Amino acid sequence: MSFEAFSEVIDKIYSAALDADLWHAAMAAIDHAVGGRGGMLGIDAAGRPGFLSVIGYDQEAITSFASYYASRSYVWSLALKAGEGGVIHDRGVMASEQRRHDAFANEWATLHDTGDCVVFPLLKRSDRTAFAVFACSRVRGEFDAPALDFLRRLSPHLRRTAQIRVELDRSELCPDLTLEAIDKLHDGVIFATADGAITNLNSSAERLLTSNHTGISISQGRLRCARADQTIKLQKLLAQASGTDRASQRQGGALSVHREHGAKSLTVLCIPLSQSPRWSFDRHPTVLLLLSDSARSTRASADFLRDFFGLTPAETRLAIRLGGGMSLTDAAAELGVAKATVRSQLNAVFQKTQTNRQGELVQLLNTLPRVSDITLPR
């Protein structure tokens, strides 16, 4: 195998590591280089393979292998036990007598024109196991020495590209999940740079910053308070938390923002974030701001109780009143129903919230996570 051919394949698989749509072309190039009849690249979940790229085999072949023959294949069992970076050659690990009793070799391989295969256990992690398989036809019989040498030299590169793909997937997924999670929070959450420029914020923060008479808003992409003296205090907090204030060490702080018309103040907590060398200083959020609106009720809404616990409308109305400190007798009177009725409803609420006493229920209702209204699957 020429150096140019090997280099071309290497270029293709590293390109595929950065763009998953290119895996088919990379797998086809490897298959062509070794004179194969097809190949598979994928992940293994709970011992059952799931495929990212398949060449040379139809869907029926892949489905039957994943659902039945993988668990009956001696070669696949070795792949599951092997460490990262190994190369398992079908013809090298199974004697002729053993092949005659192997369901995969006798049935699946015969039906789908597979005379030999090489399996690469690329990654073995708690959350991801990556593998690659390349096969040759029954007419050819088995891979020759040059083809096996090519595949063995390719193994560390395949493993490295699998590692790159997994890390890229994580780097793309984690920020999305983080932003989705903070968007559920009741309090406002803002990620900001040292000079107050906002890089991300959740829905609660957006509502606060765009509503009237909040006392804090966004002006030209930066946080500003309604009062000039409080804007200066906020800027000092940001400098202190981000480390641009050279006079002191990085530390957090709090600001009580004045609001108009006698409304309760808005509390702003300023928390330092670690500074990563991967970001340029002007783009990296160095401060986390938590906006706590004391004027906003912290109790769970009727929609939340209904969706989260599966309460009926009547049970929800009762739970809200009990959570607010109302007695069972007063709740019955306000709801206009008999006390026996609310007792029956209370028993249903106990069952659905997995509580046993009224005091336990009230404590639960008043210590639920402070999340914004969400619709949960029923």
Rounded-to-10 torsion of CA 157, 137, 103, 89 = -30
Please say whether the beta carbons of 142 and 136 come within 8 A. yes
Question: What's the pLDDT score for residue 87?
Answer: 93
Distance CA 265, CA 257 (A): 6
Amino acid identity for residue 102 in this structure: D
Question: What's the pLDDT score for residue 298?
Answer: 58
Question: What's the pLDDT score for residue 310?
Answer: 87
Please say whether the beta carbons of 223 and 198 come within 8 A. yes
Question: What's the pLDDT score for residue 378?
Answer: 41
Question: What's the pLDDT score for residue 196?
Answer: 80
pLDDT by residue, tens only, the chain of 378 residues: 677 788 889 988 888 888 878 889 999 999 999 999 999 998 654 445 566 789 999 999 988 998 899 889 999 999 888 888 889 999 999 888 888 889 999 899 999 999 999 999 998 876 678 899 999 999 999 999 999 999 999 999 998 888 887 777 666 655 666 677 777 777 788 888 877 888 888 888 888 888 877 888 888 778 888 889 989 988 888 888 887 766 567 777 878 887 776 666 788 888 887 654 443 334 466 788 888 776 665 566 788 788 778 899 999 999 999 988 899 999 999 999 999 999 999 999 999 888 888 988 888 887 665 555 444 444
Distance CA 3, CA 213 (A): 70
Tokens (6 digits) for 233:
């205090």
Domains annotated on the chain, with CATH: 3-175 (3.30.450.80), 185-293 (3.30.450), 302-365 (1.10.10.10)
In residues, how long is the chain? Answer: 378
Instruction: Pick left, alpha or beta for residue 56 (phi over 0 → left; psi -120 to 50 → alpha; otherwise beta).
Output: left
Question: What's the pLDDT score for residue 149?
Answer: 93
Question: What's the pLDDT score for residue 250?
Answer: 74
